[in-house]
Amino acid sequence: MEIIIRRHYYIRLDKGRRLRGNCSTRCLGNRKWRFGFKKGAKGGDIYTSDEYKDFEFTADFNIESGTNTGIKYLFQKYEQGGNLGCEFQIIDDVLGEDNKLPNHLLGSLYDVLPPIEANKKINQPGEWNSIRILVKGNNVQHFINGLKVLEYTRGSEEYRAGVAKSKFSKVQPLFGTVEKGRFQLQDHHGPVTYKNLKVRPL
């Protein structure tokens, strides 16, 4: 079934269902659902079928101890670098395997810009946290539990410096500067459960 996007309305991406890591679905945002909860079943990333430009995205997540994953937005195929997206890093900051660098911690733009640690009020693994991603033009903001933890301008001097030091330094065009893209729920390291996934085109 096709979903019609209307301005100023939230689109409920999860249809009231909870999405758990290691799902075997490949499409989010329509009714083609295939969930793989069987023990040992091969998982996979989950994508939206639609692309978004300016938007407000919100979701609740619940991780287990040690989980390291993320939600990617503006996910697009680049001329050089392949399929990539800006990642709102979701990780157990204490026990996650990739917690050594500031720009790899919860709320960061993964491998590019770190969050403001003083602004982070996080519930421990096993409890629910909420995130909000706001993209309007080149301005991007990350929120955790209602508090802004990161704001950046795509293409700015600070942004370019972060990209230059990251694993995305050779991506063309400049990483994160595509006009629009899909969302990707990453199937990476450790269980994560999502609920209340919504996007509002602006």
Tell me the percentage of the chain whose pLDDT exceeds 70.
78
Report pLDDT for 46: 78
- Is pLDDT of 2 > 60? no
Q: Is the pLDDT of residue 12 over 60?
A: no
- Pairwise pLDDT comparison (116 vs 201), residue with the higher score: 116
Taking the C-alpha atoms of residue 119 and residue 116, their distance in angstroms, rounded to an integer, is 6
Q: How confident is the model over 77-85, as a mean pLDDT?
A: 94
Q: Is the pTM of this model over 0.75?
A: yes
How high is the pLDDT of residue 18? Answer: 47
For the cut 70, the answer to whether the pLDDT of residue 44 exceeds it is no
pLDDT of 36 above 70: no
- Please say whether the beta carbons of 62 and 122 come within 8 A: no
From first CA to last CA, the distance across the chain in angstroms is 23
Rounded CA-CA distance 71/156 in Å is 23
Burial 166-192 (b: 16+ CB within 10 A, else e): bebeebeebbbbbeebbbbbbbbbbeb
SS3 at position 119: helix
Distance (Å, rounded) from C-alpha 20 to C-alpha 185?
A: 10
**Binning pLDDT at 50, 70 and 90, where does residue 131 land?**
very high
Closest CA to 58 of 150, 196, 202: 196
Backbone angles phi, psi at 60, to 5 degrees: -110, 140
